Amino acid sequence: MRFELNFRSGKPVYLQVVDQVKAAVASGAAKPGDALPSIRPLAEELRVNRNTVAKAYSELEHQGVITTEAGRGCFISAADSPLNKDARLQLVTEEMDQAVVQAHHLQIDRDEFVRLAEARFDAFALRRTAMR
Amino acid sequence: MRFELNFRSGKPVYLQVVDQVKAAVASGAAKPGDALPSIRPLAEELRVNRNTVAKAYSELEHQGVITTEAGRGCFISAADSPLNKDARLQLVTEEMDQAVVQAHHLQIDRDEFVRLAEARFDAFALRRTAMR
Amino acid sequence: MRFELNFRSGKPVYLQVVDQVKAAVASGAAKPGDALPSIRPLAEELRVNRNTVAKAYSELEHQGVITTEAGRGCFISAADSPLNKDARLQLVTEEMDQAVVQAHHLQIDRDEFVRLAEARFDAFALRRTAMR
Amino acid sequence: MRFELNFRSGKPVYLQVVDQVKAAVASGAAKPGDALPSIRPLAEELRVNRNTVAKAYSELEHQGVITTEAGRGCFISAADSPLNKDARLQLVTEEMDQAVVQAHHLQIDRDEFVRLAEARFDAFALRRTAMR
DNA sequence: GTGGTCTAGACCACC
DNA sequence: GTGGTCTAGACCACG
């Protein structure tokens, strides 16, 4: 599982982690029983404080998304069925709408906007394969 | 103009107001010249402090979305960002990246993502012309 | 960095701080990368509320003069305004007009005024190179 | 006596009037015994509230710069000797420095800055002759 | 320790 | 009535 953090978005980092784990579960990419990265290495990789990762995991446990087993690690709990395609598209649509709104205020036209969508998607895909 | 606040999302309240005003403008629900709700009554309606609404409006003014006239009120301004092209693209890229991250975690593929970008851009453009 | 506040000038305190930081940068006394005083100690030293200093720093960040890193501090940023040329000229024009008004009321003629513009611009440029 | 107001400077309007009257006295352009415009017409001309002009005049009276004679009007009091040239240049220099600082942050070069000084001085001079 | 958000309530400038 | 500035003091996110 890979996390993408944006330190400038104003959204608390621990919530970004929470939301990304929940998204992975919702899509079926993370399945019940899968292990999450342990706190210390993940904190180092993300360059955030251990407390921040711990808070995210604690919140996830509180929401019933994961269970922590002392000394062993954190695991995805037996969870709700993953969301169907429409529901997942709906969640991405909410993010996309934010980008559309920003584009309107900054006078970015349709061509540029679509080119940007392609370019950024490809840039992320490339980074992922490169890290394998 | 109707606002929907979520006090438990972790997203700052003033930013929720900012985003909702920007969305209203981008969707054509608010047009240049329209008056925004006055700070004090809106704060009461939303059950937040006056300063919180003031901070949202101040941020909107910094972003060039509204203009405030002391003693008169706040108004939607004619869209015309004073930022240069690079800065504008950079800001839209940041929003787009959030959608890309969400798409990856929810296993939305490239084709669907680009189709979504086109569809949402067109949806907003259509609503704006319909409101005219 | 030393600040001189005048509480009876009618000029908002936070704007006095903003202008003095900008002046320090323009004169070379503060260089890109330099840390600004932390908000709390500075507020104490200036005998103003913490929020007032925070507002000044927030304004400076909006203007691109500094960058703030939550939990670390505030730093002078590399000068590179994201505004387009028209907007930049417009802002300088507003400052220049205040000098012109003052000059007219104090009966400074055109030649003296232009010589003053050259002399002060050069004085700042010289100080910046000397501080390097 | 002509006033130039800047509603966007953040400086209270009444203080702008106060400072401009004091500048005219300091330069010798306004002499003891000279009448100031009466409150109501001036407020109309400047498009500000009568209270704002009244407050400026009250402040000037408090500072001993003018005297008001009920039913007759406001007059420059017997005043300090007007400032000499150097002192007046010093006052304009303070304003000019603000413009230089702004120019530095907005990457306006020397040529543009000097051209701007000439252009704005001429623009004001032109407006004044046109209104005669 | 750093900066960020929010509240409660004061006073000011302006219409 | 409008928005703007400032204070005092709380809690949060982060290192």
Residue nearest to nucleotide F13 (CA to C1'): A12
Q: What percent of chain A has pLDDT over 70?
A: 92
Considering the domain architecture, whether residues A89 and A62 belong to the same structural domain is answered as no
> Contact C83/B82, CB-based, under 8 Å?
yes
Confidence at residue D78, expressed as pLDDT on a 0 to 100 scale: 66
Return the closest-CA partner of residue A65 out of A78, A53, A54: A78
Confidence at residue B77, expressed as pLDDT on a 0 to 100 scale: 94
Confidence at residue B54, expressed as pLDDT on a 0 to 100 scale: 96
Considering the domain architecture, whether residues D103 and D72 belong to the same structural domain is answered as no
Q: Tell me: the pLDDT tens digits for B6-56?
A: 988 878 999 999 999 999 999 999 999 999 999 999 999 999 999 999 999
Q: Which two tokens stand for residue B73?
A: 């009120």
pLDDT tens, chain D, 132 aa long: 788 887 766 677 888 888 888 888 877 788 888 888 888 888 888 888 888 888 888 888 877 888 888 788 888 886 666 678 888 899 899 999 999 999 999 999 999 999 999 999 999 888 777 765
What CA dihedral angle connects D6, D10, D14 and D15, to 10 degrees? -100
Q: For residue C118, tell me if it sits in a domain.
A: yes
Largest CA distance in chain D: 53
Cα B36 → chain centroid: 13
Confidence at residue B109, expressed as pLDDT on a 0 to 100 scale: 92
Contacts A118 to B, Cβ<8 Å: 110, 114
Residues 6+ apart with CB under 8 A from C3: C16, C17, C20, C42, C45, C46
Domain total in chain C: 2
Using alpha carbons, list the distances in angstroms from residue B125 to A108, A110, B2, B40, D57: 12, 9, 21, 32, 53
Q: Domain containing B70 — which CATH number?
A: 1.10.10.10
Q: In chain E, which nucleotides are within 7 Å of a protein Cβ?
A: 1-10, 12-15
Please say which residue of D29, D55, D76 terminates a domain: D76
Provide the whole-model pTM. Answer: 0.89
Task: Name beta bridge partners: B35.
Answer: B75
User: Does residue B107 carry a pLDDT above 80?
Assistant: yes
Residues 6+ apart with CB under 8 A from D65: D21, D22, D25, D76, D77, D79
Q: For residue A72, tell me if it sits in a domain.
A: yes
**Can you tell me which residue has the tokens 């402090």?**
B49
Considering the domain architecture, whether residues D59 and D112 belong to the same structural domain is answered as no
Q: Tell me: the pLDDT tens digits for C52-81?
A: 999 999 999 999 999 998 888 999 999 888
Considering the domain architecture, whether residues D31 and D66 belong to the same structural domain is answered as yes
Confidence at residue D24, expressed as pLDDT on a 0 to 100 scale: 83
Q: For residue C7, tell me if it sits in a domain.
A: no
Confidence at residue D33, expressed as pLDDT on a 0 to 100 scale: 85
User: Does residue C120 carry a pLDDT above 90?
Assistant: yes
Contacts D99 to C, Cβ<8 Å: 92, 95-96, 98-99, 117
The pLDDT mean for chain A works out to: 85
Instruction: With cut-offs at 50, 70 and 90, classify the pLDDT of residue B60.
Output: very high
User: Does residue A28 carry a pLDDT above 90?
Assistant: no
Residues 93-132 of B with CB under 8 A from A: 93-108, 110, 112-114, 116-118, 120-122, 124-125
Amino acid sitting at position D63 = Q
What gap in Å lies between CA C113 and CA C90, rounded to an integer? 20
Q: Are B99 and A92 in contact (CB under 8 A)?
A: yes
Q: For residue B25, tell me if it sits in a domain.
A: yes
Contacts B52 to C, Cβ<8 Å: none
Residues 6+ apart with CB under 8 A from B39: B50, B53, B54, B57, B74
Which 8-27 positions of C have CB less than 7 A from strand F? 12-15
Confidence at residue D7, expressed as pLDDT on a 0 to 100 scale: 76
Considering the domain architecture, whether residues A96 and A61 belong to the same structural domain is answered as no
Cα D105 → chain centroid: 26
Confidence at residue D85, expressed as pLDDT on a 0 to 100 scale: 84
Polymer length in residues for chain D: 132
Return the closest-CA partner of residue D105 out of B44, C79, B17, C105: C79
Residue nearest to nucleotide E13 (CA to C1'): D12
Confidence at residue D94, expressed as pLDDT on a 0 to 100 scale: 93
User: Does residue A8 carry a pLDDT above 80?
Assistant: no
**B13 vs chain C: nearest CA distance in angstroms?**
17
> Considering only B67-71, B82-86, C119-123, which range has the smallest mean pLDDT?
B67-71
Q: Tell me: the pLDDT tens digits for A36-87?
A: 888 888 888 888 888 888 888 888 888 788 888 878 888 888 666 667 888 8
Residues 4-63 of B with CB under 8 A from C: 62
User: Does residue C124 carry a pLDDT above 80?
Assistant: yes
Q: Cβ–Cβ contacts within 10 Å for residue C68, how many?
A: 17
What gap in Å lies between CA A81 and CA B30, rounded to an integer? 40
User: Would you list the DSSP string of D36-102?
Assistant: PPPHHHHHHHHTS-HHHHHHHHHHHHHTTSEEEETTTEEEEPS-PPPPPHHHHHHHHHHHHHHHHHH
Higher pLDDT, D66 or B4: B4
> Contact C84/B82, CB-based, under 8 Å?
yes
Confidence at residue B30, expressed as pLDDT on a 0 to 100 scale: 94
Average pLDDT over residues B115-129: 96
What gap in Å lies between CA D65 and CA D15, rounded to an integer? 14
Confidence at residue D132, expressed as pLDDT on a 0 to 100 scale: 55
What gap in Å lies between CA C64 and CA B47, rounded to an integer? 33
**Positive or negative torsion for Cα C45, C50, C53, C57:** positive
E strand or H helix at C74: strand C73-76
Q: Which domain holds residue D36?
A: 13-76
Which 10-49 positions of D have CB less than 7 A from strand F? 10
User: Does residue A98 carry a pLDDT above 60?
Assistant: yes
Contacts B84 to C, Cβ<8 Å: 82-85
Considering the domain architecture, whether residues A91 and A123 belong to the same structural domain is answered as yes
**Can you tell me which residue has the tokens 């390097």?**
C132
Considering the domain architecture, whether residues C22 and C67 belong to the same structural domain is answered as yes
> Contact A101/B22, CB-based, under 8 Å?
yes
The residue among D8, D17, D90, D121 with the most chain C CBs within 10 A of its CB, best to mutate, is D121
Considering the domain architecture, whether residues D71 and D18 belong to the same structural domain is answered as yes
* Burial environment of residue A72 by CB neighbours within 10 A (0 to 12, 13 to 18, 19 or more): exposed
Return the closest-CA partner of residue C39 out of C8, C64, C66: C66
Confidence at residue C13, expressed as pLDDT on a 0 to 100 scale: 94
Average pLDDT over residues A89-112: 95
Considering the domain architecture, whether residues C55 and C98 belong to the same structural domain is answered as no
Considering the domain architecture, whether residues C98 and C126 belong to the same structural domain is answered as yes
Please say which residue of B76, B94, B110 terminates a domain: B76
The b/e string for B82-98 (b: 16+ C-beta within 10 A; e otherwise) is bbbeebbbebbbbbbbb
Q: Are A67 and A57 in contact (CB under 8 A)?
A: no
Using alpha carbons, list the distances in angstroms from residue A116 to A121, B53, B113, B114, B117: 8, 33, 11, 9, 9
User: Does residue C132 carry a pLDDT above 80?
Assistant: no
Confidence at residue A78, expressed as pLDDT on a 0 to 100 scale: 66
Cα D79 → chain centroid: 17
Q: Assess whether A57 (CB) lies less than 7 A from strand F.
A: no
Q: Are A29 and A39 in contact (CB under 8 A)?
A: no
Q: Assess whether C51 (CB) lies less than 7 A from strand F.
A: yes
Considering the domain architecture, whether residues B55 and B89 belong to the same structural domain is answered as no
Considering the domain architecture, whether residues C56 and C109 belong to the same structural domain is answered as no
SS3 of residue B90 by DSSP: helix
What gap in Å lies between CA D66 and CA D73, rounded to an integer? 10
Confidence at residue A100, expressed as pLDDT on a 0 to 100 scale: 97
Higher pLDDT, B76 or D128: B76
Phi, psi for residue B60 in degrees, rounded to 5: -65, -35
What gap in Å lies between CA B122 and CA B120, rounded to an integer? 5
User: Does residue B106 carry a pLDDT above 90?
Assistant: no
